[in-house]
Structure 1
Amino acid sequence: MNIYEQYRSKLRTPDEAVQAVKSGDWVDYTATLSYPALLDEALARRKDGLRDVKIRGNLIFGPIHVVECDPEREHFIYNSWHCSAYERKLCDKGLCNYIPMVFRNVVPYYRHFLTVNVAMMCVTPMDKHGYFNLSTATGVGRGILEKADVVILEVNENLPRVYGGFDEVIHISDVDYIVEGTHQPLRQFPVAQATEEDIKIAEIIVPYIPSGATLQLGIGAMPNVVGTLLAESDLKDLGMHTELCGDAYYELFKAGKLTNAQKTIHRHKGMTGIIIGSQKLYEWVDQNPGIVAAPLEYINAPETIGRLDNMISINSCISMDLYGQVCAESAELRHISGTGGQLDYLTGAAMSAGGKAFVCMTSSFKDKNGVRKSRILPHFRGDIVTDPRSQAYYLVTEYGAVNLTGRSTWERAELLIAIAHPDFREELISAAEKQKIWRKSNKR
């Protein structure tokens, strides 16, 4: 059969395709915009005939119908590698469980340890050579599909076709079933409104960045503010090497700052694994030879990141303690997001010639009752450690940036208290004294 005959022979309705799922199976929805909405709805319609179907996803923005239709979790058990705001709310309700990971290891976990009975993923329409492009989820998609016993592709006519370094496509011959249907426009993620503190943090970081630097910008308002300030700066020939490509890179490109011309590897190519943002971003990456998607086990590997001179990594966190431990994924025991690639880039940027890794947060926040609380804590009480104190590098609040590399416990306490909110500094000094990490000669 030629590729079109193969296509027709494998074409199914969503309800027909999900008959491949059996009770007790492990099913994978892959990640982000590749969430298979039509198949998810069809699988939810099979609820009464299934029990104990375990499902994995990753940064899925909802609604996930197999979760919504089964609040008792008798039929479907949903799990996430990295929680979106929607998945976080599911965690709060006991309807989602987080899978601890470091992002570069996700596909190796599948390859060596995990079972996938059925994998479902949205892809672009098939090209004339019989290939489907994995689009915005190339970072993890192919590795999951290769482990699956049954591969079901849902063709989403709205997905951009993103060029790849490798593993960005799958051929019709490797697919079991294909589903077509009409989809809503791709979910867009407007940049959050920056606060005064976000702007101040960005202003503190930007002077550390030289022309020719390669950038990894994490999720959130503050990294996007950094992108805006860089677009308005005198810097030139910036590069992109990032787990997640968002609108900040598009803004840098529009300003003529993002050329990738000085990168020591993959020159003239912006490298990424996942793409989330606005419709303008999706149009920019579509069939753009200057944007390349590749698996995160390569993109996020510290040895890859370390080969890029002047690698600048900028990420956000939730809290840190006086020892230099960083939490970016929970508020005490309440799950928020996930480890993601933060530790990958912290490690890789530290290996880079001229590289720097920044982890940023506002010094304080107001709780739901309007009470101000410090994000710098004496020590953690159940908060999940994302970055160990042994890898602490530049930590930044609106009160300054400090480099904890090679610093003893009393030096760390002094440096971190200096960038804490002034309302909490005396309290933190008292705690440091009790913890025996404060010198009497330290500055108050």
Structure 2
Amino acid sequence: MYEQEYRNKCVSADEAVKIIRSGDWIEFAWAASVPGLLDEALAKRKDELHDVNLRGGVIISPLACMDCDPTGEHFTWNSWHLGGRERKLVQKGLAYYIPLKYSELPRYLRENVKTDVVAIQVAPMDEHGYFSFGVSVSHYAAAIDRARAVIVEVNEDMPRTQGGYDHVVHISKVDYIVEGGHRGLPILPSAPASDLDRQIAEFVLPEITDGACIQLGIGGMPNALGQMIAASDLKDLGIHTEMFVDGFVDMVEAGKVTGMRKQLDRGKIVYAFAAGTQKMYDFLHNNPSLAGYPVDYTNHPFIASQNNQLISINSALEIDLTGQVCSESAGANMISGAGGQLDFVEAAYNSKDGKSFICLPSTYNDKNGQAHSRIKGLMTHGSAITDTRPTVQYVVTEYGKVNLKGLPTWQRAEALISIAHPDFRDELIEEAQKLKIWRKRA
């Protein structure tokens, strides 16, 4: 039925990117979904384009259009959430972070920002004329709603993922189709779990009970916890998360996940985007137990909190003695981004019997090998506050876990110092005294 329309819209990548003009804003890529042929074709047009702004995030594969323009005269990368490649571009002054509360991203695109062209990678069209967004549902539908033009690059290896809504685009909304053949997907290996990660995870695991609904963030500690859950006696777990990672596949294959006790999307694994190994991509393909949703559904605190026993596990870079959390920068140096951490911190606490955990090693070593405490009297100058003091519930290090909800500043200081590295506790007490948040004992 749609074969003729498909043929009429099918062009080369070089032809498709001619629609992009100087000064345009392009919604371009997210995580494992980078339109490689369009990227290469756009790079070829470098000398005839100026001030083209590309938007995306969590990029895990090369960007030809950025690599070809070391001065940033032609292309600027604007990131919703920095991956490692984007972090290097930021340090060179070629990319910039967009402060984000991830659940609000579709609204930003519909109401607040300019989008001239959407150029994204998709799965092959089905018999009804729909292209699946594959591993990146997230916010693409919202961007398409406002764009002047839509280009899709078809990757034969992109999983066709099932979803709730806004997980596909119909050919009638597409201006150009570029056939990419078998392009594969970039592999994001699971972050290796260290002994320290496992020590921290050991404090969280007893807080999870049968029927809990799990959200895991990125990193070694959430990965360690996923492995521990897979090896545990837990049962009837649910999954409602923003990022789907390999740890969830391990949990499913170990028989721990049914989703049958969820209040929303019963029996379904809900997520906004996915990145991982080929095993995980294969698991996603046409799997009826999964539902990819836009992020204003997966991450909206009101929606996510309707699942009882929502357990949110996320990592952090540092926390001050009053409970402010930074998970995105080292001072003013951007490391990643806020993502949906605050969304799930709020959602888990508002879920019936839900719990939110911020997990971090007690120390880190600088480039000279000197140890520093991640628990600080005051945040490092310039650090971004990801989670405000009233929102934070459990904080966990390898020395224990504390619940900060409802505590005055002096009790917060006592609690956090109790899970700091012993080598820094006296120093932290002195800082708390200077800040007048240390209660003197008789």
Q: TM-score range by the shorter chain?
A: over 0.9
Map 1:247-396 → 2, pairs under 5 A: 247-380=246-379, 381-396=381-396
2:49 aligns to what? 50
Map 1:41-440 → 2, pairs under 5 A: 41-380=40-379, 381-440=381-440
- Following superposition, the deviation at residue 253 of structure 1 comes to 0.6
- Following superposition, the deviation at residue 20 of structure 1 comes to 0.2
Gaps spanning 5+ residues in structure 1: where? Answer: none
- Following superposition, the deviation at residue 34 of structure 1 comes to 2.1
- Following superposition, the deviation at residue 100 of structure 1 comes to 0.3
CA displacement 1:11-60 (0-9 Å, x = unmatched): 11111000001111111104122211110110110010011111111111
- Following superposition, the deviation at residue 319 of structure 1 comes to 0.6
- Matched residue of 1:137: which SS? coil
- Following superposition, the deviation at residue 114 of structure 1 comes to 1.1
Q: Is the 8 A contact 1:349 1:356 kept in 2?
A: yes
Output the aligned Cα RMSD: 1.0
- Following superposition, the deviation at residue 336 of structure 1 comes to 0.5
CA displacement 1:161-214 (0-9 Å, x = unmatched): 110100111111110001012454211111122122100000010000010000
What is the alpha-carbon distance in structure 2 between the residues aligned to residue 411 and residue 111 of structure 1? 43
What is the alpha-carbon distance in structure 1 between the residues aligned to residue 237 and residue 405 of structure 2? 26
**Normalized against structure 1, the TM-score is what?**
0.98
What is the alpha-carbon distance in structure 2 between the residues aligned to residue 307 and residue 192 of structure 1? 30
Q: Is the 8 A contact 2:60 2:188 kept in 1?
A: no
Q: For residue 382 of structure 1, what is the amino acid of its counterpart?
A: G
Gaps spanning 5+ residues in structure 2: where? Answer: none
Q: Is the 8 A contact 1:31 1:140 kept in 2?
A: no
- Matched residue of 2:386: which SS? coil
What is the alpha-carbon distance in structure 2 between the residues aligned to residue 385 and residue 312 of structure 1? 22
What is the alpha-carbon distance in structure 2 between the residues aligned to residue 144 and residue 60 of structure 1? 18
What is the alpha-carbon distance in structure 1 between the residues aligned to residue 21 and residue 397 of structure 2? 50
Q: Is the 8 A contact 2:155 2:183 kept in 1?
A: no
CA displacement 1:323-378 (0-9 Å, x = unmatched): 10000000011100111010000000111000000010000011111111111111
What is the alpha-carbon distance in structure 1 between the residues aligned to residue 253 and residue 80 of structure 2? 33
1:25 aligns to what? 24
Q: Is the 8 A contact 1:327 1:384 kept in 2?
A: yes
Q: Is the 8 A contact 2:323 2:392 kept in 1?
A: yes
What is the alpha-carbon distance in structure 1 between the residues aligned to residue 282 and residue 269 of structure 2? 15
CA displacement 1:116-169 (0-9 Å, x = unmatched): 111100000111111100111112111112211100000011111110100111
Q: For residue 110 of structure 1, what is the amino acid of its counterpart?
A: L
Q: Is the 8 A contact 1:263 1:309 kept in 2?
A: yes
What is the alpha-carbon distance in structure 2 between the residues aligned to residue 23 and residue 254 of structure 1? 49
Q: Is the 8 A contact 1:79 1:99 kept in 2?
A: yes
What is the alpha-carbon distance in structure 2 between the residues aligned to residue 299 and residue 429 of structure 1? 40
- Following superposition, the deviation at residue 75 of structure 1 comes to 0.7
- Matched residue of 1:136: which SS? coil
What is the alpha-carbon distance in structure 2 between the residues aligned to residue 222 and residue 244 of structure 1? 15
What is the alpha-carbon distance in structure 1 between the residues aligned to residue 364 and residue 316 of structure 2? 13
- Following superposition, the deviation at residue 88 of structure 1 comes to 1.1
Q: For residue 424 of structure 1, what is the amino acid of its counterpart?
A: F
- Matched residue of 1:82: which SS? coil
2:441 aligns to what? 441
Q: Is the 8 A contact 2:192 2:223 kept in 1?
A: no
What is the alpha-carbon distance in structure 2 between the residues aligned to residue 149 and residue 197 of structure 1? 49
- Matched residue of 2:241: which SS? strand
- Matched residue of 2:306: which SS? coil
- Following superposition, the deviation at residue 233 of structure 1 comes to 1.1
Q: For residue 130 of structure 2, what is the amino acid of its counterpart?
A: Y
Moved more, 202-211 or 22-31: 22-31
Q: Is the 8 A contact 1:313 1:357 kept in 2?
A: yes
What is the alpha-carbon distance in structure 2 between the residues aligned to residue 172 and residue 252 of structure 1? 36
Q: Is the 8 A contact 2:156 2:183 kept in 1?
A: no
What is the alpha-carbon distance in structure 2 between the residues aligned to residue 90 and residue 219 of structure 1? 21
What is the alpha-carbon distance in structure 2 between the residues aligned to residue 364 and residue 38 of structure 1? 43
Moved more, 199-208 or 25-34: 25-34
What is the alpha-carbon distance in structure 1 between the residues aligned to residue 101 and residue 205 of structure 2? 27
**Normalized against structure 2, the TM-score is what?**
0.98
What is the alpha-carbon distance in structure 2 between the residues aligned to residue 32 and residue 392 of structure 1? 27
- Matched residue of 2:148: which SS? strand
Q: For residue 398 of structure 1, what is the amino acid of its counterpart?
A: E
- Matched residue of 2:242: which SS? strand
What is the alpha-carbon distance in structure 1 between the residues aligned to residue 145 and residue 66 of structure 2? 25
Aligned sequence identity (%): 47
Q: Is the 8 A contact 1:30 1:141 kept in 2?
A: no
What is the alpha-carbon distance in structure 2 between the residues aligned to residue 62 and residue 89 of structure 1? 13
